[in-house]
Amino acid sequence: MSWRIQYEKWLNNPKLESYLKEKLAQMSEKEIEDAFYTDLQFGTGGMRGEVGPGTNRMNIYTIRKANEGFAEYLLNNFKDAKSRGVVIAFDNRHFSTDFALESAKVMASHGIKAYLFDSLRPTPELSFAVRYLNAIGGIVVTASHNPPQYNGYKIYDENGCQLVPQFADQVIEYVSRVEDVFALDIKDASELTHLIVKIGKDVDDAYLNKVKTIQLNPYLDKSKIKIVFSPLHGTSNVPVRRLLAECGYQNLYVVESQCIPDPNFSTVKSPNPEDGEAFALSIELGEKVDADILIATDPDADRVGLAVKNNEGKYVLLTGNQTGAVLIHYLLSQRKAKNLLPTHGVVYNTIVTSSFGAEIAKKYGLEVESTLTGFKFIGEKAADIENTDKTFVFGYEESYGYLLADFVRDKDSIQSVLMCAEAATFYKNQGKTLYNVLFDLYDEYGYYIESLVNIALKGIEGQEKIKRILTDFRFNKPTSVAGVAVVASEDYNESVRYDVFGTTQLTLPKSDVLKYILSDKSWFVLRPSGTEPKIKVYVGVVSDHLKTSEAKNEAIKKYVLERIATIA
């Protein structure tokens, strides 16, 4: 069915909510095309899109359709789905409360118990709650760190892990069978009170008590450490402030204007701790109170970013890879000192994560395994080794997501904030900043420098260009980049690695991702975003000198971007 026919079907449907019909009538031809040319798809972070009318937008009808598919999947695969139920959480975004209630109504209309949080909660707490309540699955309504016009929907299995492609594809198959979203029989919430159960404080207490157990040095002197914290208008405000207070961090300063759960994220250009501009108010407060560390989380509280003082006393932002390396070093060095390193410990990262943290982990005798991008793959691995001789020690990805203890099966900024605060305190008491620790690690392991470029390509034309870019790189493989030979390439869509020894089958799930490895251990990756109309370019290098690594990184990035620009 063409986008124009879909548009007319929606516009003329008497069941369409009046506020959405008004928006449809005001849309331009280009806006109509973008809203109806496709259906929202599940990607690395679930289903995300701009809020508004249309099959390619987040609204109560696309939410109902997704939940209808999820409900059918659960009922057809789990005999106890109705009694075990589904846990539902939501963040502070536009329509999050409505979309969460709609999710609960669809589940309950199918006889599935819906545990609905009484107010906004962090995504990692949702992951925890699924296992805590012995639920069959979970749902969180969030668009993570996306701009304010977005919202989204993520689904979880009984292990508290986002559905991996093997199972998400089954849900998508059920979703695709929904021919008419307006014909779904969804009961009113007033008829479903026996199946929609509100949850809150009991789960909060259990979750935060569990988070406290990750501390390695809970009795450090915390009197001198000064911390600035911002939830960037999101869900971590209450749990983080409570957690740090209960763990003895008395010098906590919060960016008050960013503690308001504002769906417009009025104080920031982007509510993303990867974006340096998001730290502007934190830096201002940090300079005022002479803070040692600045910490910010994204709206659904699964990512965390840090800013620390350099040798000149200026705040610098750490990248996700740098924070990961510092956390791994602190975690493993302290566990070794306390004789707590497991015999068969495993650290998980992704194929676009720096090798920096991996080298540190290997020094301590840990196994390192890389997954595809998307924390669901790390959560899946944690579940897989639960009853084996292997022990989950740490999981992380370059995009500011970390997990220290796998009672959560998703990235968890609440855990991460606590461990970052502890590490900063530990080194503060030794007269060091986390910046000093980072450069000590560089001196020992090499100067690992990474970068990421997001190229936005919206609409039908954008999707076609992304395909052309990947096709060009796939079939015209570079043989050298910036004067350095390409010695291997990995095509995750074809599940093949090519190098001087021939071809090797890759064992990870198929994904339209290309990786190229150079003779000097540099690499770059091309990957379409799973949640936004973008193609992502990742670059990683290592050398014995900072400036050399920075120059190599820029040279590789320049090559890739110039080549992309020539592809029509």
Active-site amino acid positions:
144
Which residues are within 8 A (CB) of 171 and not within 5 positions of it... i.e. 6 or more apart?
42, 69, 70, 73, 155, 163
Residues 214 and 415: beta-carbon distance below 8 Å = yes
CA gap 552, 265 in Å, rounded: 36
Sign of CA dihedral 347, 348, 351, 356: negative
Q: Which residues of 377-389 are buried (b: 16+ CB within 10 A; e: fewer)?
A: bbbbbbbebeeee
Closest CA to 457 of 446, 468, 471: 468
Q: How many CB atoms lie within 10 A of CB 3?
A: 18
Closest CA to 217 of 434, 423, 420, 428: 423
Q: How many CB atoms lie within 10 A of CB 219?
A: 7
Tell me which residue has tokens 């995504």.
Answer: 123
What are the backbone angles phi and psi of residue 388, rounded to the nearest 5°?
A: -115, -175
**Tokens found for residue 35:** 């809203």
∠ Cα 172 173 174 (to 5°): 90
Strands 502-505, 86-90: pairing is unpaired
Residues 492 and 515: beta-carbon distance below 8 Å = yes
Report residue 215 CA to chain centroid gap: 23
Helices (H), 431-512: 434-445, 459-475
- CA distance readout (Å), 382 to 345, 379, 429, 486: 11, 5, 34, 33
Which residues are within 8 A (CB) of 490 and not within 5 positions of it... i.e. 6 or more apart?
351, 496, 497, 498, 506, 514, 515, 516, 517
Q: Rounded to the nearest 10 degrees, what angle do helices 60-77 and 165-176 cross at?
A: 120
The total number of residues written for the chain in this structure: 568
Closest CA to 126 of 414, 386, 408: 408
E strands within 189-312? 196-199, 227-230, 252-254, 293-297, 304-309
SS (H, E, C) 342-397: CCCEEEEEECCCCCHHHHHHHHCCCEEEEECCCHHHHHHHHHHCCCCCCEEEEEEE
DSSP 545-559: SHHHHHHHHHHHHHH
**Tokens found for residue 14:** 């008497």
- H or E segment and range at residue 368: strand 367-371
The 8-class DSSP code of residue 256 comes to G
